[in-house]
Structure 1
Amino acid sequence: MSENNRDGKRTARERLAVEREKHKAAEKRRRTLIVGTAVVAVLGLAAVIGVIAANAGKDGDDSAGPVVAPSGANGEDNLAIPVGRNTAKSTLTVWEDFRCPACKSFEQTYRSTIHELTDAGQLRVEYRLATIIDGNMGGSGSRNAANAAACAQDVGRFTAYHDVLYDNQPPETDDAFADNAKLIELAGKVDGLNTPAFRKCVEDGTHNSWVDKSAEAFNKGGFTGTPTVLLNGTNIYQDQTMTPAKLKQQVQEAARG
């Protein structure tokens, strides 16, 4: 065999060996890439599972939790906050929303008459809280204010705080009552209300689930809006002839029997 032939075969073998090494290296990189991708996928899946587990049972808000009715609440499911004597012959049921402008208007018109009649023992009022404006406008001011009012009920300051909330009601489109600090600030206008217990109740949303249940009862009741005002079961807010004087007359006539 000539020297040139031997050199040619040797060169071919060397090229083949080099190609084999390149193929082995490429195969090794491919296996490494497959393993690495699989590990990343497993870790990603684990992370997703972790997030799902961490959020299990959550629905996007803090409505879940025990329903804690405020002190003294009564009626079906303890959803009514009573004001006045149980012996009164007339009962006024008021469905209201602290963000509702029409509710404020009703308050401004009828408040003094209602206070007079409850103080005289002739009228009992059942306040029931709704969150219709939160649903219509967005936000959580209706709910937070209702929770704060329930917290005030816990320490016997519901009526005074109720009136303060309406006296300081923001415009309907302004969700100012969503700020618990604002609700606590307004509590300073009521003697003896701005206490550590009240502040904790407001900040913790102690009665949020109770408010949600009350709002659900309002929706199921078939009412058209707030305020809905019922005197002994009759809707007087829809009575175009109703006035504070007429309400007072009807209540006093019932008291006399």
Structure 2
Amino acid sequence: MSEKNRDGKRTARERLAVEREKQKSADRRRRTLIVGASVVCVLALAAVIGVLAANAGKDKGGSAGPAVAPSGAQGKDSLAIPVGKDGAKSTLTVWEDFRCPACQAFEAAYRPTLHELTDAGKLRVEYHLVRLIDGNLGGTGSLRAANAAACAQDAGKFRDYHDVLYANQPKETDDAFGDDARLIELAGKVNGLDTPAFRTCVKDGTHNSWVDKSHAAFKAGNFGGTPTVLLNGKNIYQDQTMTPAKLKQMVEDAANG
């Protein structure tokens, strides 16, 4: 074999070795990129999951931790906010949602009668707060308003604030009560309620878990919807003949009987 041919074959082998080394280097870089990309994808997926979980918590109002009942709450699991005297012969149990238009209609029609009967010591009203509309339409207004009402109960001003919330109820599809600033603004309509303690209670969602517990009890009771109104255990809201005057007569008969 000539020297020229040997040099040619050696040069070819060297070129092949160089190409193989280049290929190996390229393969190593590709594997590194694939591993790196996989790590990035996993981290990105974890970040997305984290964001979704955080947003899910926000959608639910961030209810977490033990249920803190408002001051003076009574009944099973302290889920009822009482208005009226303990010794009243009649008890009206009301399950309500501050975003519920039907609840507002009931309040507008029956409020004067309820105030008259409770002030006279003839009727005791037990309010149970739920968040039905939040689940149906989204948002947190039912929860936040119920928490704020419970905060008002802590301050001994539940009934007045309760009435203010219904008097200023937004449209059912408007989650205005999901804004703590709005709830605090409305507290200004109740003498002495807008205090640092009330604001902290509203912003911290002190009673959020309690509201959720009340809502769970509502679902467990298999009630048809809000408002659910029971007079001494009997559902009177389903009675198409019921009027404020009829309710008043029933309560007064019980008080006199």
TM above 0.5 = yes
Distance of 2:54 and 2:105 partners within structure 1: 40
Which range is displaced more, 199-208 or 35-44?
35-44
Instruction: Decide whether the 8 Å contact of 1:74 with 1:80 is kept in 2.
Output: yes
User: Which AA in structure 1 matches 2:3?
Assistant: R
2:18 to 17, 21, 25: 21
Distance of 1:136 and 1:199 partners within structure 2: 28
Shift of 1:207: 0.8
Counterpart of 2:238?
A: 238
Shift of 1:32: 3.5
Counterpart of 1:197?
A: 197
Instruction: Decide whether the 8 Å contact of 1:113 with 1:244 is kept in 2.
Output: yes
Distance of 2:211 and 2:88 partners within structure 1: 26
Q: Report the 3-state secondary structure (helix = DSSP H, G, I; strand = E; otherwise coil) of the residue aligned with 1:245.
A: helix
Shift of 1:99: 0.9
User: Which AA in structure 2 matches 1:97?
Assistant: D
Distance of 2:118 and 2:49 partners within structure 1: 52
Distance of 1:208 and 1:194 partners within structure 2: 19
Counterpart of 2:28?
A: 31
Counterpart of 2:6?
A: 9
| Deviations 1:92-148, CA, capped at 9 Å, x for gaps | 101111111111111111111111111111111100112122222222111111111
Instruction: Decide whether the 8 Å contact of 1:58 with 1:64 is kept in 2.
Output: no
Q: Report the 3-state secondary structure (helix = DSSP H, G, I; strand = E; otherwise coil) of the residue aligned with 1:201.
A: helix
| Deviations 1:197-253, CA, capped at 9 Å, x for gaps | 111111111111111111111111111111111111111111222221221111112
Check if 1:113 corresponds to 2:113. Answer: yes
Counterpart of 1:90?
A: 90
Q: Report the 3-state secondary structure (helix = DSSP H, G, I; strand = E; otherwise coil) of the residue aligned with 2:19.
A: helix
User: Which AA in structure 1 matches 2:125?
Assistant: V
User: Which AA in structure 2 matches 1:226?
Assistant: T
Gaps of 5+ in 1: none
Name the larger-Rg structure.
1
Distance of 1:138 and 1:54 partners within structure 2: 18
Q: Report the 3-state secondary structure (helix = DSSP H, G, I; strand = E; otherwise coil) of the residue aligned with 1:219.
A: helix
Q: 5 Å matches for 1:1-257?
A: 5-42=2-39, 45=42, 60=57, 61=60, 62-257=62-257
User: Which AA in structure 2 matches 1:26?
Assistant: Q
Q: Report the 3-state secondary structure (helix = DSSP H, G, I; strand = E; otherwise coil) of the residue aligned with 2:125.
A: strand
Once the two structures are aligned, what percentage of the paired residues are identical?
62
User: Which AA in structure 1 matches 2:174?
Assistant: D
User: Which AA in structure 1 matches 2:236?
Assistant: I
Which range is displaced more, 139-148 or 43-52?
43-52
Shift of 1:37: 3.0
CA separation of 1:165 and 1:50: change in aligned 2, threshold 3 A? closer
Instruction: Decide whether the 8 Å contact of 1:88 with 1:255 is kept in 2.
Output: yes
CA separation of 1:112 and 1:223: change in aligned 2, threshold 3 A? same
User: Which AA in structure 2 matches 1:22?
Assistant: E
CA separation of 1:212 and 1:193: change in aligned 2, threshold 3 A? same
TM-score (norm 2): 0.90
Distance of 1:110 and 1:19 partners within structure 2: 95
TM-score (norm 1): 0.90
Gaps of 5+ in 2: none
Q: Report the 3-state secondary structure (helix = DSSP H, G, I; strand = E; otherwise coil) of the residue aligned with 1:238.
A: coil
CA separation of 1:48 and 1:175: change in aligned 2, threshold 3 A? closer
